[in-house]
């Protein structure tokens, strides 16, 4: 039976993940390959320590090529009906997310 990681390890993993995403955002303009590597490392840490990424963070990068998705720079965003369509310009992967209408 597999045990859960200690709380201190999970806390450190979350700190490292957030730090790597911040570094990836900084490096996106100058060195996109390094930015992709930072996102890849953050994902690996999350998988190893079983840390869930928040929805906002999870939707901010391409799961296929690890590119940060910045509208107009690394992705195209379209709204079609009640669906938000995001297309990665690096690998042409398409993501579709429903849009909730506020009443």
Task: Convert the pLDDT of each residue in 42-76 to its tens digit.
Answer: 999 999 999 999 899 999 999 999 999 999 999 99
pTM for this entry: 0.87
Q: What is the pLDDT of residue 93?
A: 96
Using alpha carbons, list the distances in angstroms from residue 82 to 42, 46, 59: 31, 31, 17
Residue 39 lies in a domain: yes
User: 81 lies in which domain range?
Assistant: 7-98
Q: Is the predicted pLDDT of residue 38 greater than 80, yes or no?
A: yes
Residue 103 lies in a domain: no
Residue 17 lies in a domain: yes
User: Which stretches does DSSP call E strand in the chain?
Assistant: 75-80, 83-88, 94-98
Residue 40 lies in a domain: yes
Q: What is the pLDDT of residue 2?
A: 74
Residue 53 lies in a domain: yes
Residue 2 lies in a domain: no
Do 45 and 20 contact (CB within 8 A), yes or no? Answer: yes
Total number of domains constituting the chain: 1
| Residues 6+ positions from 14 with CB-CB distance below 8 Å | 51
Residue 1 lies in a domain: no
Residue 46 lies in a domain: yes
């Amino acid at each position: 039976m597999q045990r859960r990681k200690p709380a201190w390890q999970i806390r450190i993993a979350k700190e490292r993940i957030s730090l790597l995403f911040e570094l990836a955002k900084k490096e996106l303009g100058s060195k996109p390959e390094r930015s992709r590597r930072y996102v890849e490392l953050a994902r690996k840490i999350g998988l190893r320590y079983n840390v869930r990424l928040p929805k906002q963070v999870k939707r901010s990068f391409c799961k296929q090529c690890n590119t940060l998705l910045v509208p107009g720079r690394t992705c195209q965003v379209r709204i079609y009906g009640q669906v938000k369509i995001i297309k990665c310009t690096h690998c042409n992967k398409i993501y579709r997310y429903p849009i909730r209408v506020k009443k």
